[in-house]
Amino acid sequence: MAVKFAESSQQSFRPRIEPSTHAFLGHLTSEPGPAFELMCVKHLLGQGRVARAREILQRILLQYPTDEKLLNLYRVISPGKVVRSNVRYSDRTLEMDWIKANRSVYKGKWVALLGGKVIGIGDDLKTVLRMVQEKQLRDIPLIHHLD
């Protein structure tokens, strides 16, 4: 495809299409619009120029803020967000050691473990969950099926 992209720090991004390309592109013209702009952004993404594509897409969204294709693409190429949560990390080394040591003895059973201590063992998950609830533990046990 004979599409040329002209970029300049002083001019806005304006792709140019060679005349022979108009028939190939079908309904697209050299006039910018959401479909044409989307093609330009995809071209930049194909070149691995994500930051530049993101900048251009932000500008395009100012003109076409309700265009679903543009909004979806922007969500996809936006940088990830780090969100803090109140979930504490629990070191499960003791529980994992117990599982490794006792897997063959309790094969096919469900176990609830907390800090290497057995809270409950049963044939089904429902039974083990009931055992955990009855203990009214402050911490959350590890529940695992030994296969």
Distance of alpha carbon 109 from its chain centroid, rounded? 34
Q: What pLDDT is stored for residue 33 in this prediction?
A: 61
Structural domain includes residue 41: yes
Q: What pLDDT is stored for residue 31 in this prediction?
A: 52
Q: How far apart are CA 146 and CA 118, in angstroms?
A: 13
- Nearby residues of 112 by Cβ (< 8 Å), 6 or more positions away: 118, 119, 120, 121, 128, 129, 131, 132, 141, 142, 143
Q: What pLDDT is stored for residue 2 in this prediction?
A: 46
Q: What pLDDT is stored for residue 35 in this prediction?
A: 78
pTM exceeds cut of 0.95: no
Q: In this structure, how many other beta carbons lie within 10 angstroms of the beta carbon of residue 13?
A: 18
Q: What pLDDT is stored for residue 68 in this prediction?
A: 87
The β-bridge relationship of strands 14-17 and 110-114 is unpaired
Mean pLDDT by 10 residues, the chain (147 residues): 46 46 44 72 89 90 87 88 79 94 95 94 95 93 94
Q: What pLDDT is stored for residue 32 in this prediction?
A: 53
Q: What pLDDT is stored for residue 22 in this prediction?
A: 40
Judge if 10 and 56 occupy the same domain.
Answer: yes
Q: What pLDDT is stored for residue 23 in this prediction?
A: 38
Q: How far apart are CA 122 and CA 35, in angstroms?
A: 59
Q: How far apart are CA 145 and CA 48, in angstroms?
A: 44
Judge if 7 and 51 occupy the same domain.
Answer: yes
Q: What pLDDT is stored for residue 146 in this prediction?
A: 94
> Are 125 and 110 within 8 A, CB to CB?
yes
Judge if 70 and 110 occupy the same domain.
Answer: no
Q: What pLDDT is stored for residue 3 in this prediction?
A: 47
Judge if 17 and 41 occupy the same domain.
Answer: yes
Q: Which of 19, 69, 65 is nearest to 40 (CA)?
A: 69
Q: Which of 113, 77, 83, 82 is nearest to 98 (CA)?
A: 113
Which residues span the domain enclosing 134?
93-145
Judge if 129 and 67 occupy the same domain.
Answer: no
